[in-house]
Amino acid sequence: MKKYFQSLAYLVFIAVTFWAITKAIQVYEKPFSLYENPLVWIAVVALVLVILMKELLNIVAQKKAEDLILEKEGINPAEVDNWAWYKKLIKRWTKAKAIEEEDEIILDHNYDGIKELDNSLPPWWVYMFYATMIFGAVYLVRYHVLGADSQEMEYNKAMAEARRELDAFKATSKDAVIDAATVTALTSDSDLSRGKAVFNLNCAACHAPDGGGGIGPNLTDKYWVLGGGIKNVFTTITNGGRPGKGMVAWGKTLKPKDIQKVASYILKFQGTTPAKPKKAEGELYEEETSTETETVEQAKDSIQ
Ligand code: HEC
């Protein structure tokens, strides 16, 4: 009765765990990320452990049964060499001579008592050596005679293929991909209010809620450390400022769409007067398309 119960519990555990793991692999995006889904790993380890334990129990039980049979036949189980097969295998693969047989292979020179054995090369080593020779021949013919792709060529081909796929993807889904090359300034109220929310949450601490600046530069003036205009601002937010300045690369935390919105929102600060404007930093930036003829001096005057 107890035995049946054990087997049943075992089968149910295996079935349920296996089912749970398959389900998890189907459902989770990264089922084997230990950090995101530790339960999957716990289940896998538990499953393997339980199966191993069960096998171990089986082996022990079988061994006991065999010993009983041996005893019945009048043989002491302790005298049977269980490792005979293993010893034979080792002997076949090493061709090592036992110490008692060393007389057969000892060479007749003797240097101050140092003698030498004429051991044969161990077959495991010899076969590996032959394998490297075959590998070398195949390699030579494949890469130097038939001219197969080198690693560098393979890499370049894979990169070209990826670029082609990316271009095709960009061409078919225009709004899905926003990068520094395709980004445009948004103007709709909903986009700008999303931009404002992102700004107040992530950026206002350093740039002030009205863009007047603080730890970070003033965003309301026409002077930019890293370039003005939607493309430069998008790039700055995505990749961060100069090293050590405190402006991190937001591309790691914000989605390109949100970066586009917050960049569009920032550009709306242009020309406004913040409560506590920080001194202008960087260089005067003018849109390439603008026909304004304002000189640097005039611009400086208008800021002061
Ligand atoms: C920890 C403070 C800090 C936070 C938070 C921060 N910034 Fe900055 N930001 C800076 C600093 C410092 C610089 C100047 C970087 C430099 O000089 O290289 C900067 C520069 C910039 C610039 C370029 C200004 C210029 O003159 O070229 C933009 C645009 C900008 N930040 C936008 C943002 C946006 C958008 C966010 C929120 C997503 C943000 N920042 C969050 C500190 C911060």
Output the domain CATH number for residue 294. 1.10.760.10
| Residue where a domain stops, chosen among 13, 46, 78 | 78
Q: Does ligand 1 have an atom closer than 6 angstroms to the CB of 229?
A: no
| Residue where a domain stops, chosen among 78, 109, 129 | 78
Among the atoms of ligand 1, which is closest to the Cα of residue 254? 38
Domain-located, residue 218 = yes
Ligand 1 geometric centre to CA of 270 (Å): 15
Containing domain of residue 16, as a range? Answer: 2-78
Residue owning tokens 């409560």:
275
* Per-residue pLDDT, 292: 45
pLDDT (tens place) for every residue of the chain, 304 residues total: 677 888 899 999 999 999 999 998 888 888 888 888 888 999 999 999 999 999 999 899 998 898 888 888 888 777 777 788 888 888 888 888 888 888 888 998 889 999 999 988 999 999 999 999 999 999 999 999 998 899 999 999 999 999 999 888 877 776 567 888 888 899 999 999 999 999 999 999 999 999 999 999 999 999 999 999 999 999 999 999 999 898 999 998 999 999 999 999 999 999 899 999 999 999 998 876 544 444 555 555 555 4
Q: Whose CA is nearest to atom 2 of ligand 1?
A: 206
Ligand 1 geometric centre to CA of 104 (Å): 83
Domain-located, residue 162 = no
Residue owning tokens 């005298």:
79
**Looking at the 3D structure of the chain, how many domains does it have?**
2
Q: Does ligand 1 have an atom closer than 6 angstroms to the CB of 186?
A: no
| Residue where a domain stops, chosen among 78, 106, 140 | 78
Domain-located, residue 275 = yes
Q: Report how far residue 177's alpha carbon sits from residue 151's, in angstroms, rounded to the nearest whole number.
A: 31
Domain-located, residue 144 = no
* Per-residue pLDDT, 294: 47
Q: Does ligand 1 have an atom closer than 6 angstroms to the CB of 284?
A: no
Q: Does ligand 1 have an atom closer than 6 angstroms to the CB of 206?
A: yes
Q: Does ligand 1 have an atom closer than 6 angstroms to the CB of 241?
A: yes
